[in-house]
Amino acid sequence: QQPVQSPQAVILREGEDAVINCSSSKALYSVHWYRQKHGEAPVFLMILLKGGEQKGHEKISASFNEKKQQSSLYLTASQLSYSGTYFCGTEPDSGGYQKVTFGIGTKLQVIP
Amino acid sequence: EAGVVQSPRYKIIEKKQPVAFWCNPISGHNTLYWYLQNLGQGPELLIRYENEEAVDDSQLPKDRFSAERLKGVDSTLKIQPAELGDSAVYLCASSLDITGASYNEQFFGPGTRLTVL
């Protein structure tokens, strides 16, 4: 089942912070985050596994609350290069192989 | 290290014509994925290969779509005949799935943008 992302779009000024949320109706094993710039391939940001861990990647970090079946991506002190569409992909906690299902994305635009 | 290579990057065909897309994954990656991405949507899995075996093709419309991954390296996705609704970006991704690993990072290619007229 497709995860729900919010907001659908956001505009930031350079240096501002943003939070992108991803929620699922199913118990999750992992959450994957990717960023895609227009006309380019999605680029991997990070994977979070069940256990409520938090990960960081430069000024981009994420959390995973397995009880709430939610993940949040945090972008701090945004840069122009952060512009793009952010996708979360979720893998159900059903044992064995489960495909990753992606949300429709959150379009982020950082302006000077 | 070279990334995932796809060709062609763009393809325009008339409906009912056949079309084929080619993907060369990252060297050593045993798992290969084909995704379809419609405008404003996230990637949707069509088929997943582990080496040369298709382990998940449940979302592949088998009446018109086919795929192969001979020798467990390159892969080809074919549509015959193409319909107007097939216009989309077709993404290929690969990953290295190590036995016992609990996650797999997927590396995506640039995609093939298909336009069916």
Per-residue model confidence (pLDDT) at position B99: 64
Per-residue model confidence (pLDDT) at position B102: 54
Q: How far is B6 from chain A (nearest CA, A)?
A: 11
CB contact under 8 A, B42 and A49: no
pLDDT 10s digits, A58-83: 789 999 998 899 999 999 999 999 99
- Reply yes or no on whether the pLDDT at A57 is more than 80: no
- Reply yes or no on whether the pLDDT at B117 is more than 80: yes
pLDDT 10s digits, A13-37: 999 999 999 999 999 989 999 999 9
CB contact under 8 A, A44 and B91: no
Residue that wins the pLDDT comparison between A53 and B47: B47
- Reply yes or no on whether the pLDDT at A4 is more than 80: yes
Per-residue model confidence (pLDDT) at position B100: 53
Ordered strands of the B5-7 beta sheet? B5-7, B19-24, B75-79, B65-68
Which chain B residues are within 8 Å of A30, Cβ to Cβ? Answer: 102-103
- Reply yes or no on whether the pLDDT at A53 is more than 90: no
User: Whole-number mean pLDDT of chain A?
Assistant: 91
pLDDT 10s digits, B74-111: 999 999 999 999 999 999 999 998 765 556 789 999 99
Which chain A residues are within 8 Å of B102, Cβ to Cβ? Answer: 30, 49
Per-residue model confidence (pLDDT) at position A66: 87
Size of the A and B interface in Cβ pairs below 8 Å: 46
Percent of chain A with pLDDT over 90: 72
Buried b (16+ CB within 10 A) or exposed e, A1-35: eebebeeeebebeeeeebebbbbbeeebbbbbbbb
pLDDT band at B71, cuts 50/70/90? confident
Query: B79 with B18: CB under 8 angstroms?
Result: yes
- Reply yes or no on whether the pLDDT at A94 is more than 90: no
User: Whole-number mean pLDDT of chain B?
Assistant: 92
Q: How far is A44 from chain B (nearest CA, A)?
A: 7
Contacts of A38 (CB under 8 A, 6+ apart): A84, A85
Q: Give mean pLDDT, residues B11-38.
A: 96
CB contact under 8 A, A87 and B43: yes
Which residues of A touch chain B, with CB atoms under 8 Å apart? 2, 30, 32, 34, 40-44, 47, 49, 87, 89, 97, 99-105
Q: How far is B70 from chain A (nearest CA, A)?
A: 22
Residue in B with minimal Cα distance to A89: B42
CB contact under 8 A, A97 and B44: no
Query: B35 with B46: CB under 8 angstroms?
Result: yes
The secondary element (H helix, E strand) that includes residue A63 is strand A60-65
